[in-house]
Amino acid sequence: MKLIGSYTSPFVRKISVMLLEKGIAFEFVNDPPYEPGSRVKELNPLAKVPVLIADDGEVFYDSPVVAEYLELLAVEPAFLPADRAAALRVRQVAALADGVTEAAATLFRESRRAPEKQDENWMLRQRDKLTQGLDALEALAREKTWLNAERLTLADIATGCALGYLNFRRILPNWCVERPALVKLAERLFARESFARTSPP
């Protein structure tokens, strides 16, 4: 199995964590899609990572699809409940965390543009998404039903990667203020070997 992505992508990190937690052997190929000479678009027409090449050569892309494929392999531990309704709830929380990550990534890319070219209204919208998304995740982490429960799930992994990305890119540095449940969840996740091994350089 081969995972193609970049060391700094939180969506690639999510898949790497899943593979490590499941003990699935894989080869990592660092191929940032925005770098000259990247071959990602040959595998994914959208030129986005992660891309997973299965042992039989089939290609999967977009992190929710790749995560679903890994679950279909039925390798323990499972990160989605067997009950379909419960699994849907976990997927929704994971989608919320992915949305937070996407807003943070959009803010980071916009911040790298020349100041006179930055769209302040667009950036404000992304900050609103970030704060609202984090507030919703905090509430869910406190409830400990679909997030931050006893068993590690896809929602936990996606949330951990989102929080890790905020720290790495220094987006919304005060995100942890008044969000103690998320802080404790992050501490618990970052102590795991899978998260330590996939920390961006």
pLDDT digits (tens, 9 = 90+) for 133-165: 999 999 999 999 999 999 999 999 999 999 999
| Domains observed in the chain | 1-71 (3.40.30.10), 82-191 (1.20.1050.10)
Q: What are the strands, taking DSSP E only, across the chain?
A: 2-5, 27-30, 51-53, 59-61
pLDDT tens per residue across span 73-91? 999 999 999 999 999 999 9
What pTM did the predictor assign? Answer: 0.97
Residue 30's SS3 state is: strand
Could you tell me which of 192, 195, 159, 198 has the C-alpha nearest to residue 7? Answer: 198
